[in-house]
Chains A and B, each alone.
Chain A
Amino acid sequence: MQVIGGSWWRRGWSLAEGMLGVWLVIAVFAGQRVMDRVAPSLTTRLIPTPDFEILDATKAAGLTHMPEVYSVAPDLRHIEQMLNSFGNSIAVADLDGDGWQDIYLTQSAPGGRNELYVNQRDGTFRETAVAAGVGEVNTGGFRSLRAMAADCDNDGHKDLFVIGAGVRLFHNRGDGRFDEWSGRSSFAITGAAHAANVVDFDDDGRLDLIVAPYFARDVVGEAPDPDGIMPDSFFYATNGAPVSVFHNEGDCRYVPQPGNLGIQHRGWTHTVGVYDLRDAGRPDLWFSSDFSSDKVYLNDGRGGFSNASDRVFTRSFSRNGMGFAAADIDGDERTEVFVPHIMFRGQKPGGNMLWGIADDGSFADESRLRGVKDCGWGWGGIFADLNNDSRLDLIVGNGFISNNAKRNYWYQVSVLDSAARGVMTDARNWPPMEDSSMAGYQRACIFVNEGSRFVDVRPATLLADDDSDERATAMIDFRNDGNLGFVVGAMHRPTRLYEIRQLEQRRWVGYVLRGTRSNRDGYGATLVLELADGRTLRRQFQPLNGFLSQHDGRLHVGLGEGGEVRAGRVRWPSGIVQELTLEQRAPGAYHEITETAAPS
């Protein structure tokens, strides 16, 4: 259609037709701009008003914890915001044995002082870490990345594990004061870990320890070699550090388990989840892994684990798993697993995974179906009944680096990820972050379970405009009144304590588990409650599952309006099944259940 000759309109038409290619290019890019502006208004939905209020109790409770910012090794300092950004660990447990939940908060900075907030039973806490012997922990090159309370000698008092580039173990004298017992064990690990958990893998009634490192070597201290410190891929890294498993020989004496029980997983682990995924009476393991796909190790019933990842992840795949939460959220007697993921429009599609288990044992992602797919760059995720309606709700903290909102580091990562492996692995090749943001200024999600779907009610709560970079989130009923609150750690913000005020009168019941043949804490026990209205509620007690967090040391179950427990039972890790007594079925209180019955 050469534009020569003819009438002016014919020439004009020919020109316009010939310009089709240019028109199309303009239309495609301009159309996208228009869609960007119009789409949000098309997708805006009415935010339902939740039947509870969230109140900030931080100040009234006396929490003054502020995560310290620290520097990494000089050769890594140009990307420091990325390396020192995992926040502090939160462990909620009754550490002094008075029946009230205390809070242990770590500092990741070398020399920083960890804090222990002891519950004063009146809605306030008193900080006692140094007097208790667990304050000055970050010494001698050690720094705290993960804290866990677990009774390692079954004496009825929770001891304290603190994990980092090593493990420190503090034994509870019984009165909330601790002695360091690390020297009794051989706690050598590779690299630095903020993912760990306890599990009795050989059914001897003692809690063993699993530590899964993130970095193959720590990023602070004696100038680590910057080559190899970073992953060799943003989505498919293979250069992490190996998992370490320690067997509890008794009296809190831990020894490395040869062969690590068959666990071959290497590194970049954010969370180790322990859960009986198949309701087989044996705990399985889930490694939520950054820079790669999650790994699932199923218990082989002989004290070992086998990697089932290729068998179970056949329908969809995970990448950059962060936290871990598991529960039967819909009463179908099957486990659902929630793993917060990274979601950033235009850079990292995907988002959270909510895995349902199919008949053939494979896992299928139900996150979009259930409305929990998109919650930005998620970290911690917890199932908990916030409104005591008997359905488990879901809290997800999010946001990575909130800095200069006009500067985005995502592009640099995508460039590095498209290069040959050696380029990304060397920290010196990473462009300086300077004041760049990366998935910053995001708002947490508070998903209320409405049955088949979850609805985010955060915009209708106190947290509506909170755009801090959350990390660990731990549940706590610090008033012992059956209303769960939560502790939230965030980067560059004080750690906060939120409580929930119910707007509807609903019942609840709670349980303190005392194992005798099983581990004393009852970790791994499963509670089944049959309600008078015919429904059955199942709750597995795994309070150490969660990104850098340990939740309330009791099983809390919302019963709904007028909810009544007709019958109930506990299946202990030992295999013992124990029926609840009439008193233990009464709502409105925490009941103690001690493992007594013979194996059924």
Chain B
Amino acid sequence: MTTAPAEAPPAAGAGRRTAAFLWPRLTDVRWHLVSFQIAYVVYALVATSFSRTAPQYAAAFVSCMGLDFLLAWAVKGVLMFPLSGLITSMGTTLILDSPLVWPYAFVGVVAMLSKHFLRVRGRHVFNPNNAGLVIAVLYFPGVATASGGGWGGYAPLAALMFLLGASVAWRANRLLLAMTYWLTFAAGVLARSAVLEQPALVAGGPMTGPAFQLFLFYMLTDPMTTPQSRKGQVIFGVLLGTVDTALRLAEQKYAPLYALFIMTGVYASFAAITGLRLSASPWKWRRLQAA
């Protein structure tokens, strides 16, 4: 889930460090996101279907928030509340499925390292959560998976997450992107249904589950790694849905995660090579000056 659109706290400047502490303003869209995430995490704690343990939560929170805080200080020279780390940590606990503790820390570490070091034109290339999850499921298939089953397949929950998620996407100015992907995915469902002679209900089954809503509205809509313009969002959404459909035809279990990883990588390169104008960071900070 969610991801951490993090980013762009004002830097202190080359070789300088500031004593000021940066705190996200209440109008920052990430708080909106966090409020829903907390609700989902509480549900995950209460619903035994998630089978998460306290050390797993702790591993994700400590690795994500701790590293985000430290790397912001080390790389940018700023002290800031690691709100993006918090978002990534909750996303990790909701999507990653492992019986062990260390994969939760591993995803957090990879996510934060990718956010702070894999950058083009000052922007991180990948959605941090997406990068951590992709590498975990690819390189540690015996202990890490991303499973939608933990949500129990409750359709009313999925519907609620759709509505809440749409509001987040709208505030992040990525609703068009989400909807374009949704429509392309739906078209892919019909295509796969025809090719595989499967009921559309089966091919499109994931769309009815909560995990799909998380991907659609919380991971996909990261403003830092997706286009800002309406045209760009439509193109990105269509291409993402197409890659996702192709991967599903190849029976790739992690099709949406892989598709987003590929598309954000390609988009970052495309933007860099063509000099595409990137939007300003939407995050809003408040500077708390030390006495």
Contacts and interface: CB of A to CB of B under 8 A. Distances in A.
Interface string B151-175: 0111100100000000000000000
Nearest to B158: A420
A28 interface: yes
B279 interface: no
A423 interface: yes
Interface string A415-435: 111111111100011110000
Interface residues of A, number: 59
Interface in A265-318: 293, 310, 314-317
Contact of B205 (A19, A22, A423): A423
A29 to B, nearest CB: 7
B94 to A, nearest CB: 14
B1 to A, nearest CB: 14
Nearest to B143: A349
Contact of B125 (A24, A29, A345, A424): A24
Interface stretch (B69-77, B82-90, B260-268): B260-268
A429 B201 contact: yes
B206 interface: yes
A343 B262 CA distance: 28
B138 A29 contact: yes
Looking at A236, A293, A368, the one whose CB has the most chain B CB atoms below 10 A away is: A236
Interface string B116-154: 001011000110000000110111011111011110111
Interface stretch (B60-68, B228-236, B270-278): B270-278
Given A349-B141, A415-B206, A417-B149, A2 B51 contact: no
Nearest to B101: A316
Contacts of B121: 1
B190 to A, nearest CB: 15
Given A18-B272, A20-B268, A419-B208, A25 B202 contact: no
A581 interface: no
B218 interface: no
A428 B158 CA distance: 23
Contacts of B267: 21
A374 interface: yes
B141 A421 contact: no
Nearest to B47: A236
A17 interface: yes
Contacts of A421: 152-155
Contacts of B120: 1, 17-18, 20-21
B184 interface: no
A21 B125 contact: yes
B97 interface: yes
A349 B118 contact: no
Contacts of B281: none
A308 to B, nearest CB: 14
B10 interface: no
A415 B202 contact: yes
A594 interface: no
A32 to B, nearest CB: 4
Contacts of B98: 349
B264 A235 contact: no
A355 to B, nearest CB: 12
Contacts of B134: 28
A20 B269 contact: yes
B219 to A, nearest CB: 15
Interface of B: 48-49, 51, 53, 97-100, 118, 120-121, 125-126, 134-135, 137-139, 141-145, 147-150, 152-155, 158, 196, 198-199, 201-203, 205-209, 211-212, 251-253, 261-262, 264-269, 272-275
Given A233-B152, A416-B202, A417-B149, 6 more contacts: A236-B152, A314-B53, A345-B141, A348-B145, A421-B152, A423-B208
